[in-house]
Structure 1
Amino acid sequence: MISKKTIKKILSVSCIEDIIGDFVELKKSGLNYRGLSPFSNEKTPSFIVSPIKKIWKDFSSGKGGNIITFLMEHEHFTYVESLHYLAKKYNIQIEYIEKFSKSKIDIDHEENEKLYLIQDYAKRFFINQLFFTKEGQKNGFNYLTQKRGFNMKIIHKFELGYAPLSWSFFTNKALEKGFKIRYLKKSGFTVSRKYYNNDCFRQRVMFPIHNLSGKVIGFGGRSIDSSYSCSTTKYINSSESDIFQKGKILYGLFQAKRNILKEDLCYLVEGYTDVLSLHQSGIKNVVSSSGISLTVDQILLIKKFTKNIVLFYDGDSSGIKASLRGINMILEQGMNLRILFISNGEDPDSISKKYSRSRLRYFLVKSSYNFVSFKQKIYGKFHKDDPIKKSFFVLNILNSISKISNLLQKELYLQEASKILRIRQEILIHELEKINKKNEQKIHKIQVIKDKKNNQTPLILILEEKLIQLILNYGDKIIEKEKCNTTVLEEILHAFKYWNLRFSSKKNKVIFDKICLQKGGTGSSNLKSDTDDKGEKNFYPLSKWDKKGIKVPSQEDHIYQYIIDIILKYKSLCISKLIKKEIIHHNITKNDDRKYFLKKIIDLTNIKNELHKKLHRYV
């Protein structure tokens, strides 16, 4: 825990207009400062910063607070991350409450800080190699400026560098600076051989990867030319570490986040150079998945800044396949999706060089399609009028529509699909319902498999078996009640009929149905009881306490209360199961009216709570 003294010092020293001024262009306006909102695309400044009160207010979005809340809102920092950011900016030493017994969180933070220091040193080392060595200028700088056409502004903005050809030059320099070999290995810069340590990045242009606060957390290294490259792999990334997980970061997000917020739109590309080329052409709200398959974590990262995403992948077969793979993932997260359709094997890098700035923006708007139209174009390009392939194509579109949670959007996409595919909407709705049912069954099957893997026998089955045993052992036993007497069997049958209960186990259901059929005869006496090999009932006899004058109540003495408790528990589990089923069904189909769905869940929950009260379990 950071001490209160340190927090107080950080807040008192921090200058709110300077901190916010790093992110928003502020102009003096009387005692305050004024600027354009960083949270909306406004033309008239409504963002106010008060240095005296140390607060800010954005009248366009309604947001406001102190310097910490600004960093949390704008930079998406946590409270602790905001404090560390300010402490670093004002060179404040952080003190902890228990200086000599730090928590695991504090220890992990210190470990991560060591990794951050190595990344920062590597960044500066690679930049120095690019600009101030003959090898770097000949290989790296010429490649970036001559072959790829990047200007100095972009090279500096993204802090590009160069890793030299030498086998262990970087590692040796880092060790001389005092960095430990285990952290160099952990960061993915060094690999150990039998008698020496090798650099992992050699003769490559280096792309630093930043987190949201601007710290370098890893690198991507691109080989320059296959004729003299030390590796046949075009791109290699830093190895996974505590601060770098490829599936949870996006290249260029640090540089693009403000533009994404302002334009309320994010372009998603595949490669590092695609990001650089688009930035240089004026499209600054762009990020890259760093050459790996798109992940849910990356989609959710974009969702922090905007719900509108445009997939801008390469126009070759692999790029088209990547676009098709990403569609359902993006729709499942409630994002508004468009996909750019480019042909002839072009990519974002070549497109950005092909058009002027104004023409490029026009091209991006004109060439983006919703996923139904995009899939139609793919089908038209590769399959034409093959009826078999078209049927699979239609089901593919419906499968994507099933991922949409918004009912209005789902309906509009069905209309769009009906129009484009020339298929009646009622036919599409029928097929969509079948897909929803399959998805529901699949989810149920996965849950069953999980339960089996966890070796968990559902409590509901245990209670069913107890009820069967009660019927077999005590079915004809008389239960005395105030109005009329009944039997154990009749009491259980009445409860099941009144509550419309059904056994979930087929085996238990068969036994119970047999009992119901014989109800008019001899009750449970004709059924096989729970016996052992000798024909004796499987009870565990108590010690002969009665001979010692001690009365021990048996299960039979309180059979009515015992039955009531089991039935109440069984009802409660059945209702829990029904609630879960309703939620899963609603999440998959989204066809129910939301108010009706919520009322149903509330009613079922109230019944469940009443049952819990009767069982003396208040919730």
Structure 2
Amino acid sequence: MSKIPEHILNEIQDRCDIVEVVSSYIPLNPAGRNFKALCPFHHEKTPSFIVSPDKQIYHCFGCNSGGNVFNFVKEHEKIDFIDAVKMLAEKTGVKLPEYRQEKGEDSSLVSTIYTINDIAAGFYSGLLIKCAASTDVRRYVEKRGIEDAVLKKFRVGYADSSWRSLADYLTQRGIKHEMGLKAGLVLNGKDNSFYDLFRGRLVFPIFDVRGRVLGFGARVMDDSLPKYINSPETIVYKKAQHLYGLNFAKPHIREKGFAIISEGYLDVITSHQYGINNSISSLGTALTVEQIRLLRRYTHKVVMVYDADQAGEMATLRGLDLFLEEGMNVKIACLEKGHDPDSFIRKFGPRGFDAAIKKAKNLFEYKLGILKEKFNTDEPEAKAEIVKEMLGTINRVRNAVVKAEFIKNLSAELSIKEEAVWEELKKLGKGNRRSFSYAQGRQATGSREQETKRQVSISPAEKILVRLMLEDASVVDTVKGSLQPFDFKSPDVRHLIETLFSFNAEGTAIDARRLINYLEDKVSPHVISFIVNDEVRIKDKEKNIRDCINVIKKENKDRQLKDIQGRLSLAQKNGYKDEANDLLEEFNRLLKTGS
């Protein structure tokens, strides 16, 4: 059972409609009493993802993902159960009790750092608002064309040139210098003094997906170096795990079906100002696996925006192979030389930028084009170099069909035999599980990639009986008079039966969505959703109950007989005559009993 009280979980669920929550992530289509969609948790062409408004449960019959509204948010957002509850509590206005973080994590320090960051963001933002129009920072903001509404949205601020402005302000707020140091906002000086990290710079708060301030980036307003200074890593800020602007962009990314990634803070801010709200930034670093997996919660399609110089760098393109390895579709849009997204949008407007995005090419196509310009494709050695470079990208592709198609296209573009390219891929991939043969690749073009499917091992009789018990509490009394938990084969079903019997004894009914919370540490949510989302109509309920009880009794008897036979065989083999006689007697006695 979760550390969050059951009545709190129930209240949140009562205020949440799972259809409304799920449809805010993926499009749902009516299907009888339920709703259907392509599963967001595995690749499929035919919808097998079902959401039941009556049961407030979802289940995918393709990958067996399933559960209640908490499980969906947890799985889609890639967060833990507690954070999923917090998200839905915020959405529904339910106040949560104080919750202690898991062992080893100083939750008090984490909370304090978030508070200090929020105070600092307010301080810097206030300084920018107070600046007169004639000051350098105001002139700079005006020159960049940033509107006040966008400055407020992103909480952009200003750190003045004083050495201790923020440090002194934090002291006035009762915050010790040591805590400012742990937040990465102040630095140690001589003689145990402290001074501000950011001075004379435009300051950009960096948010997590929930809108909490993690850290800051700060930019000079002239040509001095370094151009940018960023917060150091702290207990709450790990640069490689976050994307700038994602907290604002995520609903628009879902709506538009793809994300636009650029390099800088101002690229994102200008994009949002002009209505290009699915724009985010990599925080000025090469993209990491953690950032890609974070983004994958919201989309599988990405357009990287580069200027002409960046897009021509092979090192830059090789870094994008990570997207393919994570099963994402990545395209590259190249802007005119000398322009980044910020300057391009201000000059050509959102329509010009949209046109550039529509011209984006997939990574395979773009990279091959650059290589063909670089090498003389009339020479066999040059073709070999191109193949070698391209296979480094192709070998990262997860989907067997896509991989085979890329090989086919590469062969056609270079006028070489497809088998030869497969042979080179085989050499490249020795010891690499992603590599496979030409024959396997040819076979893959006619079949879809195998997906990992969660297993549910429950007999039909056990499944039907538990479903009926959850639909009608009176069935629990009937089952209770005929069966015990140990009569069931599935350990998951035993836990379910024990719980249903227990609630029945207390005179309390429990539905599937609450049962998932109650048994979260014992039974996987997808097992319960698999049972209750069975839409097969049961015509004669009483007969089905009797039949299921009889089948379960017989199956249990057969298991016991098989177990005794095994022990009897072992006893006879080892010469344990007395034990063998006892087991034989037990076997015959059980054999004579009714099923």
Q: TM-score range by the shorter chain?
A: 0.5 to 0.7
2:284 match: 291
1:37 matches 2:23:
yes
Once the two structures are superposed, the pairs formed by residues 40-439 of structure 1 within 5 Å of their partners are 40=26, 68=70, 71-72=73-74, 76-85=78-87, 92=95, 94-95=97-98, 105=103, 108-134=106-132, 138-144=135-141, 146-195=142-191, 196-226=193-223, 232-317=225-310, 320-321=313-314, 323-366=316-359, 368-383=360-375, 387=379, 388-437=381-430
CA deviation vs aligned residue, 1:529-580 (integer Å, no higher than 9, x gap): xxxxxxxxxxxxxxxxxxxxxxxxxxxxxxxxxxxxxxxxxxxxxxxxxxxx
Higher gyration radius (CA): 1
For 1:36 and 1:70, the matched residues in 2 are separated by: 8
> Structure 2: which amino acid aligns with 1:211?
D
Structure 1 residues 199 and 403: alpha-carbon distance in aligned structure 2, compared to 1, 3 A threshold? same
Amino acid at match of 1:188: G
Find the aligned partners of 2:347 and 2:246 in 1 and give their Cα distance: 24
Cα separation, 1, equivalents of 2:312 and 2:94: 46
Distance in 2, matches of 1:14 and 1:128, equals 39
Q: Deviations over 1:360-401 (max 9, x none)?
A: 3232112x1122321233235555668455532231012211
1:528 alignment counterpart: none
Deviation per CA, 1:274-316: give whole Å up to 9, x if none: 1122223332222211011111111111122222222212322
One-letter amino acid of the structure 2 residue matched with residue 225 of structure 1? D
- Cα root mean square deviation, aligned: 4.0
- Secondary structure in 1 aligned to 2:216? strand
Question: Counterpart of 1:78 in structure 2: which amino acid?
Answer: D
Which TM-score applies when normalising by structure 2? 0.62
Change (3 A) 1:53 1:132: farther
Is the CA contact 1:163–1:202 (under 8 Å) kept in the aligned structure 2?
yes
The one-character-per-residue Cα deviations of 1:490-535 (angstroms, maximum 9, x if unpaired) are xxxxxxxxxxxxxxxxxxxxxxxxxxxxxxxxxxxxxxxxxxxxxx
CA contact (8 A) 1:220 1:236 kept: yes
Residue 434 of structure 2: aligned partner = 587
Does structure 1 retain, via aligned residues, the 8 Å contact 2:331–2:363?
yes
> Cα gap change, 1:360/1:332 in structure 2, threshold over 3 Å: closer, same or farther?
same
SS at match of 1:349: helix
- Quick one: structure 1 residues 103 and 204, their matched pair in 2 at CA, closer, same or farther if it must change by over 3 Å? closer
Q: Within the alignment, does 1:8 sit opposite 2:25 as a pair?
A: no
Give the % identical residues: 31
SS of aligned partner of 2:368 = helix
Instruction: Give yes or no for contact 2:204–2:265 (8 Å, CA) kept in 1.
Output: yes
C-alpha spacing 1:67/1:164, structure 2 compared with 1 (3 Å): farther
- SS of the counterpart of 2:290? helix
Q: What residue identity is the alignment partner of 2:153?
A: K
Deviation of the 1:168 alpha carbon: 0.9
Q: Deviations over 1:2-25 (max 9, x none)?
A: 7554x63475389837x99xxxxx
Whole-Å Cα distance in 2 between the matches of residues 428 and 300 of structure 1?
30
3-state secondary structure, aligned to 2:210? coil
Cα distance between partner residues in 2 of 1:343 and 1:380: 21
Q: Whole-Å Cα distance in 1 between the matches of residues 348 and 65 of structure 2?
A: 39
Q: Distance in 1 between matches of 2:275 and 2:386?
A: 37
Higher mean Cα deviation, 354-363 or 395-404? 354-363
Whether the 8 Å contact between 1:213 and 1:254 is mirrored in structure 2 is yes
Q: Gaps (5+ residues) in structure 2?
A: 37-52, 451-569, 571-595
Task: Determine if contact 2:202/2:218 at 8 Å carries over to the other structure.
Answer: yes
Alpha-carbon distance between aligned partners in 1 of 2:391 and 2:145, rounded to the nearest angstrom: 43
Q: Which has the higher contact order (CA 8 A, sep 6+)?
A: 2
Contact 1:312/1:348 (8 A) holds in 2: yes
1:16-70 Cα deviation digits (max 9, x unpaired): 37x99xxxxxxxxxxxx9799322357999999xxx99969999x9999876457
Offset at residue 253 of structure 1 (A)? 1.1
SS in 2 for 1:220: strand
Q: For 1:91 and 1:407, how far apart are their aligned partners in 2? A: 46
Structure 1 regions of 5+ residues with no counterpart?
Answer: 21-32, 97-101, 441-583, 599-613, 615-619
